[in-house]
């Protein structure tokens, strides 16, 4: 028979189950349990050395292909090309190690959060021990300011409030009680007789018994989920891997055909054809691609850092651009994680809080700050967040808080009690009488109210008044406001018998306030921008259903009355995975969820092919942050655990920064796509030129020609395309999604026809030169034709770089000369290409001849035709799209 949950056990049954008692464990028993079960710590994540991390970078398929290409280039004597390829590979690995160096910090950060010491009772004596020495059955004593050292079942409670937002997502401290709870599978936030490791005591005191330590605690379970979570492959990584495999197969096939045909035609020697086939394979591989991708991503991270988005893993930049879903934690992310007075109900009127102007003698203002345990210190306000919000509100309204507190010191009190839900304090008045200030839950306080303060006059509370007050309370509650009521009573002397029955009766209602953890002011616009970009924002929180729904409506995540879009963790538990997978798109708000719910939500969307970004700041968010395609942590309010599990951290905790990051991600992808189209179409032109020359029996370009063109055109111009300015309306496009790749959106078609065009124009120039030679000597005619083909094949790629500044847009609409680095890259590449022909000595090394002005004119005109033809094709493509 399964054991019943700990929160359902009576004290005696609990003691029997844990084999302990009020006096605590004996030292001998504690030592035995510590030896048997281990210390109260979280497992340390296994780490790898920097060398192991560096070596792991070379497991990527594209990197392996490039290293093979470098080896082949070196064996064929092209040492410069081999060295450049290897430099690219090593730099890529260094970038990878640097960006991922902190990926193992999540579990270690959890360990550092543990409380260093705990106050316990052993052998009937109170003592302080290191928290890692706690064992199940220890009796722990708690008071305000303590970090809870292990999971506890509370036994005795005195006005205890615990802040659990990092674990549950609730922004308001939870009131705890010792009473046995009923109900099966209660969420963590509803287990009011339990206290959990690493949460904070904000008010009161309590005694509890340790029921779980280390990895068996709720925080330990989260640590286990982080440790077990699979690393997701980003769309960028998947695309590059697939691209590398496809290119390799295609290149090997073409190289084999060229080699076979050359040998069959007996146009070249065996060694010459072998070198040609190898040089073709090396030239066809875009060895500059990893460098271009890395540099583009790195520059993107720099731009994002300036706008408060800190990227920890380079591929995360591009992943943001393909995001379909942003699943956001509410507390501290969408909201400010700071209780704020929003509505004030006084004189039977409900008004916005900022419109009220209290005078010093206003009883509502007095009760708000007097029946309050907030301490005003030099460093600010200290105390329970709800109470500090009341004092802060009065300060913001320029109410003389310090003067009133000094003039009316507390002389007696009845502390807050979670059962009666009231707090009362007694203060002297100037006339010698005393003010009893009472604060509490409206429904409980109204039971003790007989009169009403209205416009400075006190009158009897009528049934109509009572109904209006209750209706107002209900309306504020439905708006997710936390409502507190305030009352008072003036007596001649301090009551001798300070009991609730004696003090909290015949009260005069001063008014009510509605409080909320308000949404961040910029978030509503960010949500609207995300929706305009085709991204679906969702809220995932540990708060109650009504609170979550009201905030979601205010932010525009759901529409008013759209209650079917809200689901609780309990309702989610009632669904199996298959049912939830079918209905996941129906929900935009998840309330009262546990950490495993968040992971389940993320994975349900991923199964539907969606790219999911998850934001969060608490310990409870870490597993989902790691499971998501991109985890986004909060830099200010976030725990070290959530930051360590994230791919990106918001330095300003600003949800709108995510939209900025998405925009940057889309720009990065678009620029990488431009570079890929440019590189592959150019390489296809080279392959086609060699292939057709071999098929036609023409004198083919030498390996040095192909490798030099490849080196000149595949580096600086391609890198320059990676830093092109952002195109217009990039945030009006729909997300690409997981199924898209670098060949989507007409890019593959562009690569094919542009590559064929480059090869065709080059072959035409060679044919023209060999058919209508300037020189009559056959040897010189071949030399001129080969040189013109070499120059055309190089220049046509530089002209095509201008075409590649936009996949579909005209080069005249994107700005021909905006990108200064691009302009210099083209000039440098042209100079490197031209000097092999123009500089004496170099032309001999490259086996090319000098060209006269007429021949150069043909080369330039033919190369420029690439721009003209592509512009015409783009024009018709845009007309078809419209």
Q: Which residues are part of the catalytic machinery?
A: 329
At which residue do the structure tokens 């102007």 appear? 357
Contact 684, 751 (CB under 8 A): yes
**CA-to-CA distance for 754 and 684, rounded, in angstroms?**
9
Q: What is the secondary structure of 476-495 as a DSSP string?
A: HHHTTPEEEEEEEEEESS--
Q: What is the secondary structure of 660-729 as a DSSP string?
A: HHHHHHHHHHHHHHHHHHHHHHHHHHHHHHHHHHHHHTPPPPPHHHHHHHHHHHSSHHHHHHTTPPPPTT
Widest CA span in the chain: 126
- Helices vs strands, H then E, count in the chain: 34, 26
**CA-to-CA distance for 363 and 261, rounded, in angstroms?**
100
What are the distances in angstroms from CA 580 to CA 544, 591, 601? 21, 15, 9
Q: 697-726 b/e with 16+ CB inside 10 Å = b? A: ebebbbbbbbbbbbbbbbbbbbbbbbbbee
Q: 318-331 b/e with 16+ CB inside 10 Å = b? A: bbbbbbbbbbbbbb
**CA-to-CA distance for 251 and 241, rounded, in angstroms?**
15
Q: Can you state the percent helix, strand and coil of the chain, rounding each to 5? A: 55, 15, 30
What are the distances in angstroms from CA 581 to CA 82, 324, 540, 573? 50, 16, 17, 13
How many C-beta neighbours within 10 Å does residue 575 have? Answer: 16
**The two three-digit tokens of residue 599, written as one number:** 């992971």
DSSP state of 566: E
**CA-to-CA distance for 210 and 129, rounded, in angstroms?**
14
How many C-beta neighbours within 10 Å does residue 413 have? Answer: 17
Element (H, E) at 612: strand 612-616
Tell me how many degrees the CA angle 108-113-114 measures, rounded to the nearest 5.
Answer: 105
**CA-to-CA distance for 160 and 199, rounded, in angstroms?**
13
Nearby residues of 715 by Cβ (< 8 Å), 6 or more positions away: 84, 288, 291, 829
Q: What is the secondary structure of 694-713 as a DSSP string?
A: HHHTPPPPPHHHHHHHHHHH
How many C-beta neighbours within 10 Å does residue 122 have? Answer: 18
């Amino acid at each position: 028979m399964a054991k019943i949950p700990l929160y359902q056990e009576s004290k005696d049954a609990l003691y029997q189950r844990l084999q302990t008692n009020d006096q605590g464990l004996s030292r001998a028993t504690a030592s035995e349990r510590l030896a048997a079960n281990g210390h109260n710590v979280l497992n340390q994540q296994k780490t790898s050395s920097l060398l192991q991390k560096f070596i792991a970078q070379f497991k990527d398929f594209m990197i392996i292909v490039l290293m093979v290409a470098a080896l082949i280039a070196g064996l064929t004597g092209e040492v410069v090309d081999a060295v450049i390829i290897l430099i690219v590979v090593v730099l890529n690995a260094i970038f990878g190690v640097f960006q991922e160096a902190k990926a193992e910090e999540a579990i270690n950060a959890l360990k550092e959060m543990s409380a260093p010491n705990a106050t316990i009772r052993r052998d009937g004596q109170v003592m302080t021990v290191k928290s890692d020495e706690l064992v199940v059955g220890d009796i722990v004593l708690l008071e305000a300011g303590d970090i809870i050292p292990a999971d506890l079942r509370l036994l005795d409670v005195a006005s205890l409030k615990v802040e659990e937002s990092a674990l549950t997502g609730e922004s308001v401290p939870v009131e705890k009680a010792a009473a046995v709870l009923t109900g099966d599978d209660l969420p963590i936030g509803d287990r009011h007789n339990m206290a959990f490791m690493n949460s904070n005591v904000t008010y009161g005191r309590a005694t509890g018994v340790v029921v779980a330590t280390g990895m068996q605690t709720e925080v330990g379970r989260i640590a286990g989920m982080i440790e077990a979570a699979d690393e997701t492959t980003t769309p960028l990584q998947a695309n590059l891997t697939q691209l590398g495999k496809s290119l390799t197969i295609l290149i090997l096939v073409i190289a084999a055909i060229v080699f076979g045909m050359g040998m069959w035609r007996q146009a070249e020697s065996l060694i010459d054809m072998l070198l040609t086939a190898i040089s073709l394979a090396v030239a066809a591989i875009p060895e500059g691609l990893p460098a271009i991708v890395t540099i583009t991503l790195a520059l993107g991270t720099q731009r994002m850092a300036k706008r408060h988005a800190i990227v920890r893993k380079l591929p995360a930049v591009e992943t943001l651009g393909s995001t379909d879903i942003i699943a956001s934690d509410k507390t501290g992310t969408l909201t400010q994680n700071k209780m704020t007075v929003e509505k004030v109900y006084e004189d039977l009127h409900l008004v916005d809080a900022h419109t009220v102007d209290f005078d010093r003698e206003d009883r509502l203002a007095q009760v708000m700050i007097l029946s309050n345990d907030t301490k005003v210190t030099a460093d600010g306000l200290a105390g329970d967040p709800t109470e500090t919000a009341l004092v802060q509100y009065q300060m913001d309204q320029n109410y003389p808080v310090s003067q009133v507190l000094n003039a009316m010191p507390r002389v007696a009190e009845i502390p807050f009690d979670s059962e009666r839900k009231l707090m009362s304090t007694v203060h002297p008045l100037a006339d010698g009488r005393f003010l009893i200030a009472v604060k509490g839950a409206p429904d409980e306080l109204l039971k003790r109210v007989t009169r009403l303060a209205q416009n400075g006059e006190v009158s009897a509370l009528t049934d109509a008044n009572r109904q209006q007050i209750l209706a107002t309370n209900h309306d504020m509650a439905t708006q997710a406001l936390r409502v507190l009521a305030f009352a008072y009573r003036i007596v001649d002397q301090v009551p001798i018998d300070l009991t609730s029955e004696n003090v909290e009766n015949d009260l005069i209602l001063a008014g009510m306030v509605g409080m909320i953890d308000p949404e961040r002011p910029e978030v509503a616009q960010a949500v609207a921008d995300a929706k305009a970009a085709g991204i679906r924002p969702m809220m995932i929180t540990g708060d109650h259903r009504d609170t979550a729904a009201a905030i979601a409506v205010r932010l525009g995540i759901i529409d008013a009355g759209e209650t079917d879009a809200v689901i609780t963790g309990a309702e989610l538990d009632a669904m199996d995975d298959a049912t939830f997978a079918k209905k996941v798109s129906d929900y935009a708000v998840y309330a009262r969820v546990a950490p495993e719910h968040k992971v389940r939500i993320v994975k349900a969307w991923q199964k539907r092919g969606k790219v999911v970004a998850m934001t969060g700041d608490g310990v409870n968010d870490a597993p989902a942050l790691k499971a998501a395609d991109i985890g986004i942590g909060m830099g200010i309010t976030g725990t070290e655990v959530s930051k360590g599990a994230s791919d990106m951290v918001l330095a300003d905790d600003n949800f709108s920064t995510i939209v900025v990051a998405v925009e940057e991600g889309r720009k990065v992808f678009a620029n990488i796509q431009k570079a890929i189209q440019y590189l592959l179409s150019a390489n296809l032109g080279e392959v086609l030129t060699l292939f057709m020359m071999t098929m036609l029996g023409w004198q083919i370009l030498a390996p040095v020609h192909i490798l030099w063109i490849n080196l000149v055109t595949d580096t600086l111009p391609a890198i320059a395309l990676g830093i092109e300015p952002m195109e217009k309306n990039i945030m009006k496009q729909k997300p690409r999604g997981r199924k898209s790749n670098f060949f989507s959106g007409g890019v593959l078609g562009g690569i094919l026809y542009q590559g064929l065009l480059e090869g065709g124009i080059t072959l035409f120039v060679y044919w023209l030169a060999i058919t209508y030679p300037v020189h009559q000597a056959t040897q010189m005619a071949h030399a001129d034709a080969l040189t013109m083909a070499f120059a055309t094949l190089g220049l046509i790629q530089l002209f095509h770089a201008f075409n590649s500044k936009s996949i579909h847009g005209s080069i005249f609409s994107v700005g021909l000369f905006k990108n200064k680095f691009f302009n210099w890259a083209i000039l440098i590449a042209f100079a490197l290409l031209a000097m092999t022909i123009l500089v004496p000595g170099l032309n001999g090394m490259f086996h090319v001849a000098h060209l006269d002005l007429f021949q150069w004119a043909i080369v330039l005109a033919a190369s420029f035709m690439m721009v003209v033809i592509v512009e015409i094709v783009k024009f018709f493509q845009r007309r078809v799209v419209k």
